[in-house]
Amino acid sequence: MSADGAIISLTKTPGCRAWIDGVGCWLIWFQEELMIGNAAGESSDFRLRFPAHLRTRHAVVQRTESGDWLNMIGECRVNDSPVLLRQPLFPKDRIQLGEELKLSWNRPNPLSGTAVLSFENQRTADHLDGAVLFQETCLIGAGKQTHIRCRHWEQACILFARGGELWRRTQDSQEIGPVVAGEPFSVGQWRMRIETLTDLR
């Protein structure tokens, strides 16, 4: 796992947290499966931990060559229909876990395989505001096709994979370089900082 001051590796850490001025904190996830559950108890796997009436391991979002899937462990609905074991996910699908947690699934940019899991009615216990399931690129900015929307930004930032590492550049390519864990950087007048995950429970 990358430590502060090291370039973020896409293979040595499962993901990272992006702290963004005026937006909040987002998970950027590098692996093909992401567990969703409650905030109680412990697990050997990282999971999105919501303060909701869910199982510790309630559902898994899975990305495969055949498409995106929601695998049910506890009660799940997609577009108001009950999930029976496994359900394919498509852009703008509405997901409900248990009785109260509402999420949405999207792939806002047709040129990128990266997907977005938006939290519609609550943050996680770790104060995450949303999750990006990273696939080669992640666009951050004001446009409707961005993965993390920052409505007040005048410039956009692109995170991308290069040689097994996470790199960044501004949309006009004026600034380019690897992302260093814990090191703030600016996009126009706004700042952001990306940290690797340190708690995998």
Q: How many domains does the chain have?
A: 2
CATH code: domain of residue 65: 2.60.200.20
Range of the domain at 156: 1-28+134-201
User: Per-residue pLDDT for 199 more than 60?
Assistant: no
Which of 75, 102, 131 finishes a domain? 131
Give the whole-angstrom CA distance, residue 106 versus residue 108: 6
Q: What is the mean pLDDT of residues 70-75?
A: 96
Which of 105, 131, 157 finishes a domain? 131
Q: How buried is residue 118: exposed, middle or buried, by Cβ count under 10 Å (0-12/13-18/19+)? A: middle
Q: What is the mean pLDDT of residues 72-100?
A: 96
Per-residue burial over 127-147, b if 16 or more Cβ lie within 10 Å, else e, is ebbbbbbbeeebbbbeeeebb
CB count in 10 Å sphere of residue 33: 15
Q: Residue 47 corresponds to which tokens in the numbers above?
A: 């999971």
